[in-house]
Amino acid sequence: MPTYSYQCEDCKKEWEATHTVADRYEETCCGTKATLLIVPKSMFFHMFTPHTYQDICETPIHVTSKNQLKELCKVHDVRVARLE
């Protein structure tokens, strides 16, 4: 099962949880729904490298650019973390 990163919208606390893809939006904190963060595996590099993301939607998506990743995150209602 994939590990997802979350951030509370109220207290800004961040944590990781392991879920199935279908249950990835179910985390809560402080009585509100937590925001799902997308943390690219290439976050320690300054250059963007094409990568297949398995945590954006139910099927793996091959992303070839930062702009494509940002657009896919908007479409699937997830937030890009540490991409800039």
Task: Judge whether 73 and 80 are in contact, CB under 8 Å.
Answer: yes
Output the pLDDT for position 83. Answer: 57
Nearest to 24 by CA among 41, 38, 42: 38
For residues 25-49, average pLDDT? 70
* pLDDT at residue 1 tops 80: no
Residue 6 CB partners (closer than 8 Å, separation 6+): 14, 15, 16, 17, 27, 29, 34, 35, 36, 37
> What's the pLDDT tens digit per position in 41-76?
544 445 667 778 777 778 888 888 888 888 888 888
Output the pLDDT for position 60. Answer: 85
Handedness of CA 29, 75, 2, 81 (dihedral sign): negative
pTM of the full structure: 0.47
Q: How far apart, in Å, do the first and last CA atoms of the chain sit?
A: 27
Output the pLDDT for position 84. Answer: 47
Nearest to 73 by CA among 40, 33, 45: 40
The mean predicted confidence, pLDDT, of the chain is 77
